[in-house]
Amino acid sequence: MDRIRIVGGRNLNGTIPISGAKNATLPLMIASLLTEQTLILDNVPRLADVALLERILGNHGVDIMVSGKRSGETADHGQTLHISASRIVDTTAPYELVSKMRASFWVLAPLVARMGEARVSMPGGCAIGTRPVDLLIMAIAQLGAEIEIESGYVVARAPHGLRGAEIVFPKVTVGGTHTAMMAASLARGTTVIENAAREPEVADVADCLNKMGARISGAGSKQIVIEGVAKLDGARHAVLPDRIETGTYAMATAMAGGDVLLQNARPELLQAALDVLVRTGVTVTPTNQGIRIARNGVSHGLAPVDVTTAPFPEFPTDLQAQLMALMTRARGTSHITETIFENRFMHVGELTRLGARIHLDGERATIEGVPQLKGAPVMATDLRASVSLVIAALAAEGETIVNRVYHLDRGFERLEEKLGRCGAAIERLSG
């Protein structure tokens, strides 16, 4: 079980290349099931979740070829995947795979839209919550599929194809919006999605589907309109930069102090988070190469903030743990309210081991800034919680060992290399 060792107290200076977005890559790979032709994806990050989804798609008969490095290409360039679902040999997504990577449940939409049937394991819960999929099932049913739940599997049938519908989501759901959009692309007639998720990854997937011949308008807004088409073709699409990785390294720089260029980052993908960082006293400068983050000297320290997570374009839940780590060193008391997931404070206990003072009251956390954190062995519990421990460790006195870093590898490509190149004392301990 790999661990990461960090000795705190070093500033971060230099450039961090931002990889392609994990939460766009996963649905984009799944969209390949909608066509018999080849979908080429550029700027794909090298992540454990991507590798696992490659295995899951292989189970359905999808061939995936990874392009070799082109001349002059470094590891900072994303990989290119050639994904061909010319023949789908199995429309079942088994529990042992879906339970490892929840987003694989999203294969339900393209399988039932293209094959007229799908048998997909319910993903079950995870560390941050029960993660129900009732709204994803509702969307497929409203598009005309017959749904049965059989021993933990969702069995969907649409032997005569799907038909357009008006789908109104009672709450914003990213997975539900992806599901409805992909299924509706091949439905007969028009589908209108109301209260759609506005996350940039939804717009990125819509952009790719349109390149494949879909007719989608309004992605990125609350209302998405899809004119179904008979079939989709192959296309080539570059994954947009990862806004959560961008926000994470911005907060790491704010915590450690220093001056870092987040290369290829795009401010409009995380403006609410950047606005919060400015309120803490960090300098945020968009440039034509990305976003420059600077906090020099600890003299003026970090100002406390009050933040509530909410769907895009508000402050993202996937940056909540990282902001909490940053606020452990603020000059005063901050409040963070988590409104998306019911159990997304697993990092609090571990941050407390580093000397943080955090009080929980239901979905609201009160963080009383302390002058100094002290290194200690800590345990990662889920993807974003684990990186909040890295952020805290960068400013903690002495050595911190982060255990169970496989959580980190799911969503952060070459984290210790990217931070190490900017001066952090960080190394991976294998075994």
Q: How far is CA 370 from CA 184, 234, 326, 329, in A?
A: 51, 54, 11, 5
Q: How far is CA 246 from CA 284, 307, 405, in A?
A: 12, 18, 19
Binding to ligand EPZ in span 386-425, by CB under 6 A: 411
103 binds ligand EPZ (CB under 6 A): yes
Residue 153's nearest CA partner among 114, 116, 124 is 124
CB of residue 68 to ligand EPZ, shortest distance in Å? 28
What's the rounded Cα separation, in Å, for the pair 342 and 339?
A: 8
252 binds ligand EPZ (CB under 6 A): no
β-strands 425-429, 377-379: how paired? Answer: unpaired
DSSP, collapsed to helix, strand or coil, labels residue 249 as helix
> Per DSSP, what are the bridge partners of residue 317?
none
Q: Give the nearer residue to ligand EPZ in terms of CB position, either 27 or 164.
A: 27
- Which helix (H) or strand (E) segment holds residue 377: the answer is strand 377-379
Residue 403's nearest CA partner among 346, 350, 352 is 350
135 binds ligand EPZ (CB under 6 A): yes
Length reported for the chain = 431
What's the rounded Cα separation, in Å, for the pair 374 and 279?
A: 26
Q: Give the nearer residue to ligand EPZ in terms of CB position, either 273 or 340.
A: 340
Q: Give the nearer residue to ligand EPZ in terms of CB position, either 176 or 290.
A: 176
Residue 256's nearest CA partner among 121, 138, 423 is 423
What's the rounded Cα separation, in Å, for the pair 142 and 166?
A: 8
Q: Pattern of binders to ligand EPZ over 2-21, x per CB under 6 A? A: --------------------
Two structure tokens written together for 376: 């200690």
175 binds ligand EPZ (CB under 6 A): yes
Q: Which of 11, 19, 23, 32 binds ligand EPZ (CB under 6 A)?
A: 23
171 binds ligand EPZ (CB under 6 A): yes
384 binds ligand EPZ (CB under 6 A): yes
Q: Which of 20, 176, 257, 267 binds ligand EPZ (CB under 6 A)?
A: 176
Q: Give the nearer residue to ligand EPZ in terms of CB position, either 23 or 142.
A: 23
CB under 6 A: which stretch of 71-79, 131-139, 276-284, 397-405 binds ligand EPZ? 131-139
CB of residue 12 to ligand EPZ, shortest distance in Å? 23
**How far separated are the first and last CA of the chain, in Å rounded?**
5
- Which residues does the annotation mark as catalytic? 126
317 binds ligand EPZ (CB under 6 A): yes
174 binds ligand EPZ (CB under 6 A): yes
Q: Which of 204, 207, 245, 318 binds ligand EPZ (CB under 6 A)?
A: 318
CB of residue 199 to ligand EPZ, shortest distance in Å? 6
Which residues here bind ligand EPZ, judged by CB under 6 A? 23, 26, 103, 129, 131-136, 171, 173-176, 197, 317-318, 340-341, 383-384, 411
